Amino acid sequence: MIQLTRLNRTMIYLNPDLIKTIEEAPDTTICLINGDYYLVLEKASEVVEKIIDYRVVIQRRLEQPDGLVQERGASE
């Protein structure tokens, strides 16, 4: 999940796998694959950076020899 800030300054956690589009006009609008949308304070480039950082963390966890996913796979 990535943490973003709504226009009213409340925090929201979004699953980046559900993001369909990100637009700036001038507020950043994030549209999800289910049609929901969110207006956030972060610029589109910041949202993209957060998504990249999130995916890097996930990839590193998968590559760790003691990672949760590998433990599950080894025991099955």
Start-to-end CA span in the chain (Å): 27
pLDDT for residue 66: 67
> Along the chain (76 residues), what's the average pLDDT of each consecutive run of 10 residues?
98 98 96 98 98 94 68 46
| Predicted pLDDT of residue 75 | 45
pLDDT attached to residue 67: 54
Q: Where are the domains of the chain?
A: 2-75
Residue 31 corresponds to which amino acid? Answer: C
Model pLDDT, residue 69: 52
* Sheet arrangement for strand 19-24: 19-24, 28-32, 37-40
Q: What number of other Cβ atoms are within 10 A of residue 51's Cβ?
A: 16
pLDDT of residue 62: 85
